Chain A
């Protein structure tokens, strides 16, 4: 049993393998911590801060923090949940997230988090930024209005040779994730679907399959995100 450690989340004892991050250990033990930019199988970056928790009284991101024995963690508390809700609200006002017109609606993780944390309206003013839509690829649409810059597509969508389909362009406020124009032209249906599925929002949309699932049968229509943890 040398390979396991014990710590506590909201008073519940968590038994985890050494080397796991806090969020992995929590999910293995049936404790949900919300994530957005984190994706299984790729190194965490702690960018979106959705998985913020308090370890021994200090705010940390649970996706980047290795679990350690004896940690006292707060996660599902009014203070932290309010913080998470504010992050969701900031993401909603900093892009153009028109859910009624989005093909990803119902399967969108950002929207599902807003449902789970009961966002009725963001407390911040909408910025309505001017963004472009790149529909040059025959297989997908890259819509910058909805991109949350999580890098999940950059890290997971690659050619057989390991070349990335997506990359960052510009800096600061103008930072965008763009599709490589040449690779975009040669993209297969399988890669297009994977790219759409791995995108947590509706920024990558596979062409010719929009609104394929009727309302009521989509992933988060009836079940809140995280209930399967």
Chain B
């Protein structure tokens, strides 16, 4: 069987879900036999170089770059998975959703306790910087998502079992303990 192609991205996430992928421990040796990584922080490939079978998205969308990246993944991946609470429901970044964006920026750059070095009181506005969105959006409210793996982070066993089932077309029997929202 030819190797399946995988791509991963961390949008508005903390990389914890990527760390949880590494928690599959020695099964990573089996993973190498099963898949080839394309665009991913794991191998630092920046642009897709071929069609991808499974794209794995960590984090929701908090700025314009997240949205572009997510759409780029959707265009290039046959199957797209939301991995973890931030991708599924915005997660911790979405705690700002009830706060007006002006107040968030003022707290971060003008009024907060750690803004001493910002003597000119500038809110970063370089055109190179992605625009921050009005609120943090779950991935499936931006593009179509095919599967969801909840958890903060998702348990390594859940990621492994789901990936193997998806890649090999086998049945998935998820024990109660692996589906958790924290």
For residue B89, CB closer than 8 A to chain A, the reply is: yes
Contact bitstring B153-182, A, C-beta under 8 A = 1, else 0: 000000000000000000000101101111
Which of A21-29, A66-74, A110-118, A171-179 participates in binding chain B? A110-118
Interface residues of A in 83-117 (CB under 8 A from B): 92, 96, 98-102, 105-106, 111, 114-115
- Is the Cβ of B82 less than 8 Å from the Cβ of A128? no
Selected contact of B152 from candidates A92, A99, A115, CB within 8 Å = A99
> Which chain A residue has the least Cβ–Cβ distance from B89?
A126
- Is the Cβ of B150 less than 8 Å from the Cβ of A120? yes
Q: Which residues of B contact A118 (CB under 8 A)?
A: 174, 179
- Is the Cβ of A128 less than 8 Å from the Cβ of B181? no
Given contact pairs A126-B138, A131-B98, A121 touches B89 in the complex (Cβ within 8 A)? yes
Give, as a whole number of angstroms, the nearest-CB distance from B35 to chain A. 22
For residue A125, CB closer than 8 A to chain B, the reply is: yes
For residue B94, CB closer than 8 A to chain A, the reply is: yes
The CA of A194 and the CA of B95, in the complex, are separated in Å by: 28
For residue B71, CB closer than 8 A to chain A, the reply is: no
- Is the Cβ of A121 less than 8 Å from the Cβ of B182? no
- Is the Cβ of A100 less than 8 Å from the Cβ of B181? yes
For residue B74, CB closer than 8 A to chain A, the reply is: no
For residue A229, CB closer than 8 A to chain B, the reply is: no
Q: Which residues of A contact B82 (CB under 8 A)?
A: 121
Q: Which residues of B contact A128 (CB under 8 A)?
A: 90, 94, 97-98, 135
Give, as a whole number of angstroms, the nearest-CB distance from B4 to chain A. 22
- Is the Cβ of A221 less than 8 Å from the Cβ of B177? yes
- Is the Cβ of B181 less than 8 Å from the Cβ of A105? yes
Q: Which residues of B contact A222 (CB under 8 A)?
A: 176-177
The CA of A125 and the CA of B85, in the complex, are separated in Å by: 15
Selected contact of B181 from candidates A111, A125, A131, CB within 8 Å = A111
- Is the Cβ of A99 less than 8 Å from the Cβ of B135? no
What secondary structure prevails in chain A residues at the interface with B?
loop
Selected contact of B148 from candidates A121, A221, A223, A224, CB within 8 Å = A121
- Total residue contacts A-B, CB cutoff 8 A: 67
Interface residues of A in 211-229 (CB under 8 A from B): 215, 221-224
Give, as a whole number of angstroms, the nearest-CB distance from A171 to chain B. 21
Given contact pairs A128-B135, A222-B176, A101 touches B92 in the complex (Cβ within 8 A)? yes
Give, as a whole number of angstroms, the nearest-CB distance from B176 to chain A. 5
Contact bitstring A4-30, B, C-beta under 8 A = 1, else 0: 000000000000000000000000000
Give, as a whole number of angstroms, the nearest-CB distance from A118 to chain B. 7
The CA of A205 and the CA of B92, in the complex, are separated in Å by: 19
> Which chain A residue has the least Cβ–Cβ distance from B140?
A121
Contact bitstring B125-139, A, C-beta under 8 A = 1, else 0: 000000000010010
> Which chain B residue has the least Cβ–Cβ distance from A122?
B89
- Is the Cβ of A99 less than 8 Å from the Cβ of B182? yes
Max count, chain B CB within 10 A of own CB: residue among A111, A126, A223:
A126
For residue A130, CB closer than 8 A to chain B, the reply is: yes
Give, as a whole number of angstroms, the nearest-CB distance from B146 to chain A. 11
The CA of A98 and the CA of B89, in the complex, are separated in Å by: 8
Give, as a whole number of angstroms, the nearest-CB distance from A110 to chain B. 10
**Which 8 pairs from chain A and chain B are nearest by CB?**
A99-B181, A100-B152, A120-B148, A128-B97, A121-B148, A130-B98, A105-B182, A100-B182
14 A-B residue pairings within 8 Å (CB atoms)? A98-B85, A98-B92, A100-B85, A100-B91, A100-B92, A102-B182, A105-B181, A115-B176, A120-B150, A126-B89, A128-B94, A128-B97, A221-B177, A222-B176
Given A114-B181, A126-B89, 18 additional A-B pairs, CB 8 A = A96-B97, A98-B94, A98-B95, A99-B85, A99-B152, A100-B182, A115-B180, A121-B82, A121-B88, A121-B150, A125-B141, A126-B138, A128-B94, A130-B98, A221-B177, A222-B176, A223-B176, A224-B176
